[in-house]
Amino acid sequence: MPSDRPRIKLRSKEGATNGTSRIVGIVPRGEVIRNFVHSGAFDRVAGIADLSLIAVSVNPEIDAALRAAYGDVHDLVELDEPWIVRIQREIIGVTHNRWLWSRAARERSRLRDTEAVTFADRTKRAGKKLIAYPLATRGGLKFLTGLERRSSRSLSPKRSYEELYGRLKPSLVFNGSHVHSSNATQAVQTAQWMGIPTATFIFSWDNLTSQGRILLPYDYFLVWNESLKGQLVQMYDWIKPENVFVTGTPQFDFHFQEEFYLGREEFCRQFGIDPERPFVFYSTGMANHMPGEPEIVEQIADMLESIEAGVRPQLVVRVYPKDRTGRFEDVQRRRPDIIFPKVEWDENWLTPKAEDSVSLVNALRHCAVGINVASTVSLELCMFDKPVINVGYNPPGVPNEVLSYADYYDFDHYKPVVDSGAVKVARSAEEMRHLIKDALAEPDSNADERKALVQKMFGDTLDGRSGERVAQLLVELAGR
Q: What is the CATH classification number for the domain harbouring 71?
A: 3.40.50.2000
Give pTM, 2 decimals: 0.92
Task: Kindly give the interhelix angle for 185-193 and 138-154, rounded to the nearest 10 degrees.
Answer: 90
Q: Are residues 71 and 130 in the same domain?
A: no
What pLDDT shows up at residue 71?
Answer: 87
What pLDDT shows up at residue 158?
Answer: 66
Separation CA 161–CA 172 (nearest Å): 14
Look at residues 460, 357, 376 and name the one whose alpha carbon lies nearest to residue 417: 376
Residue type, 235: M
Q: Are residues 292 and 369 in the same domain?
A: yes
Q: Are residues 121 and 87 in the same domain?
A: yes
The backbone region for 421, taken as left when phi is positive above 0, alpha when psi lies in -120 to 50, beta otherwise, is: left
| Residue 7 forms part of a structural domain | no
| Residue 397 forms part of a structural domain | yes
Look at residues 369, 397, 395 and name the one whose alpha carbon lies nearest to residue 382: 369
The residue from 109, 126, 152 where one domain ends is 152
Q: Are residues 179 and 141 in the same domain?
A: no
The residue from 119, 152, 185 where one domain ends is 152
Q: Is 117 exposed, middle or buried (0-12, 13-18, 19+ CB in 10 A)?
A: exposed
- How many domains are contained in the chain? 3
* Domain of residue 135, residue span: 83-152
Q: Are residues 347 and 310 in the same domain?
A: yes
Separation CA 112–CA 132 (nearest Å): 14
Q: Are residues 277 and 386 in the same domain?
A: yes
Q: Are residues 224 and 269 in the same domain?
A: no
| Residue 10 forms part of a structural domain | no
What pLDDT shows up at residue 10?
Answer: 42
Parallel, antiparallel, or unpaired for β 279-283 and 244-246?
Answer: unpaired
| Residue 421 forms part of a structural domain | yes
Q: Are residues 288 and 436 in the same domain?
A: yes
Whether 26 and 167 have beta carbons less than 8 Å apart is answered as no
| Segments of the chain scoring below 50 in pLDDT | 1-19
What pLDDT shows up at residue 327?
Answer: 97
Q: Are residues 288 and 347 in the same domain?
A: yes
| Residue 8 forms part of a structural domain | no
Separation CA 150–CA 211 (nearest Å): 23
What pLDDT shows up at residue 309?
Answer: 65
Q: Are residues 49 and 30 in the same domain?
A: yes
Look at residues 463, 473, 469, 459 and name the one whose alpha carbon lies nearest to residue 227: 459
Q: Are residues 72 and 89 in the same domain?
A: no
| Residue 4 forms part of a structural domain | no
Could you read off the pLDDT of 300-312 as tens digits, one per residue?
A: 999 999 887 678 8
Parallel, antiparallel, or unpaired for β 351-352 and 345-346?
Answer: antiparallel
> Other CB atoms closer than 10 Å to residue 163's CB: what's the count?
10
The residue from 134, 152, 170 where one domain ends is 152
Q: Are residues 148 and 161 in the same domain?
A: no
What pLDDT shows up at residue 212?
Answer: 86
Q: In what order do the strands lie in the sheet with 279-283?
A: 338-339, 314-318, 279-283, 369-372, 388-391, 424-426
